[in-house]
Amino acid sequence: MAIFRKRKRRTDVLERPDYGWIWKPLLFLIGLYLLVCIGLGIWWSQRPDAFAVDRAVAERRGAAATTPAARGAVTIATLSTTVDTLLDKPGGYLRNDVTPPGVWLDNMPSWEYGVLNQARLLAQALPAMSAGETALFGEAEEALDSNSRDWLYPSAEKRYARAVEALDGFLATLSAESVTGFVNDGDALAQWLQKVDRRLGHLIQRLSASIDDPEALRELGVDETELPEATPWYRIDNTFFEARGDAWALMHFLRAVERDYADLLAKAGASGNMARLLAELEMAQRRLWSPLVLNGSGFGIFANHSLLLANYIMSARDQVRALAAGVEGVEVDPATAVEDEAETPASPEEQGASSPEARDASSETAAEDPGAPTDGEQGDQASGQAAGEPAPANDEPGDQAPEKVGDEATDSGADEAEGEGVTPPEPAEAAPESPVAPPVSEEESQ
């Protein structure tokens, strides 16, 4: 009987094996996976660095970068580089991700949406800015207007890549001499800036809806009754990073426009507005040191990041309005090419005068005869004589009478004229001041 019991006990052990060892490696793999996802999420949430618009033109044009391009090349290359940044940054395009870690992130997808909104506004304005064929612009606009969360084929990334190809295709045509590029007036530019103004106003309202401080809203000049519903606490950071994405893209687009329309901005006297606008947008891009987007109030312990960003965007919107009003209706001469500024080569005479040998010879002459004029003085005297001016007398310094300056010279001339019996000339009447128009209020301008 003992033998049979022993066999039965062994059979029970074989039928119920111990699988407790498998949970340890499984838990280790799950922990490692979560750790990797957290690390990737932190890396992918880093905002891309700003890029130089001039370098973007050279990279997009490739071998044709050595030849000048028509007006608009910098703007188109900047738009193409901006959309390409959404696709090629760490993690790629994250807004339509359906798998971890992208599906767990919300800050970077919101930032991407802000950049995408500004890219869509500029793509819609390109046909009006262009003076030639606009078919490729239509393709780019249609591709950018697709749903930003599409992940089935064709996904959003595929469509945005097509927009980049269409923009690069149009950029390649701007190297031809027959292509005129963008128009030479500021009407289309003003229309785009007006759309940007409305977009910034919408962002200000959404950021203000995240602020629970009525006094801070009054300082911003925001009517609480016109605000949308209060932003939930878990979406405050989404609105914040979306506004940061808008500011990042708009900063690059305005730098490109400043490069393409430098002559128009100078003629309109709007260069100062552009500089102040870029300064406000750069301030909106400052590093956020807090791990969370805080929603404090006043001078409390915690900051209010939404309120601070709303102030910068409101100042930027004011400059956008002033810039749009300044460039509207302004027209400049056609600019056939956009190229890097180069120094004008000096003439052979100037090169000879500025050479080290000429400077040495001039210094030796001056050392031997302090009264002798140098080469530069001789050239000035010669040019003055050629223009009909009398040559100065070569007297010694001690024999020359001191010249009378200002009122003394005028009084002496009048006395001499009276002594000789000649009527002194009457002083010229001051030109009447042109009437200055009073400043136009914002409501009247609209």
- Following DSSP, what letter does each residue of 353-377 receive, concatenated? HTSHHHHHHHHHHHHH-TTS--HHH
Share of the chain above pLDDT 70, in %: 65
Question: What band does 2 get if pLDDT is binned at 50, 70 and 90?
Answer: low
Model confidence at 3: pLDDT above 80: no
**Helix 156-173 / helix 53-61 crossing angle, nearest 10 deg:** 80
Model confidence at 176: pLDDT above 90: no
> 5 pairs with which residues across the strands?
none
Q: What is the mean pLDDT of the chain?
A: 76
Question: Over the Cα atoms of the chain, what is R_g?
Answer: 35
Question: What band does 20 get if pLDDT is binned at 50, 70 and 90?
Answer: low
Instruction: Tell me if residue 185 falls in helix, strand or coil.
Output: strand
d(CA 143, CA 158): 9
d(CA 75, CA 87): 19
Closest C-alpha among 324, 326, 190 to residue 269: 326
Closest C-alpha among 356, 378, 359, 355 to residue 367: 359
Question: What band does 323 get if pLDDT is binned at 50, 70 and 90?
Answer: very high
Q: What is the pLDDT of residue 295?
A: 82
Q: What is the pLDDT of residue 397?
A: 38
Residues with Cβ within 8 Å of 82's Cβ and at least 6 positions away in sequence, in order, are 115, 119, 249, 252, 253
Q: What is the pLDDT of residue 42?
A: 92
Q: What is the pLDDT of residue 356?
A: 43
More confidently predicted of 173 and 230: 173
Q: What is the pLDDT of residue 407?
A: 43
Q: What is the pLDDT of residue 128?
A: 93
181 phi and psi angles, rounded to 5 deg: 75, -135
More confidently predicted of 84 and 23: 84
Question: What band does 392 get if pLDDT is binned at 50, 70 and 90?
Answer: very low
Q: What is the pLDDT of residue 25?
A: 87
What dihedral angle (degrees, nearest 10) is formed by the CA atoms of 305, 306, 311, 315? 120
pLDDT digits (tens, 9 = 90+) for 305-314: 988 999 999 9
The one-character DSSP state at 71 is B
Model confidence at 285: pLDDT above 60: yes
Q: Is 405 exposed, middle or buried (0-12, 13-18, 19+ CB in 10 A)?
A: exposed
Quick one: average pLDDT of 370-375?
46
d(CA 432, CA 185): 33
The one-character DSSP state at 330 is -
Model confidence at 225: pLDDT above 80: no
Instruction: Tell me if residue 69 falls in helix, strand or coil.
Output: strand
Closest C-alpha among 78, 124, 76, 115 to residue 93: 115
More confidently predicted of 196 and 173: 196
Question: What band does 182 get if pLDDT is binned at 50, 70 and 90?
Answer: very high
Q: Which amino acid makes up residue 132? A: G
Question: What band does 17 get if pLDDT is binned at 50, 70 and 90?
Answer: low
Which sequence spans correspond to the domains of the chain? 26-327
d(CA 254, CA 232): 33
Q: What is the pLDDT of residue 446?
A: 34
Buried b (16+ CB within 10 A) or exposed e, 125-150: bbbebbbeeeebbebbbebbebebee
Quick one: average pLDDT of 345-356?
43
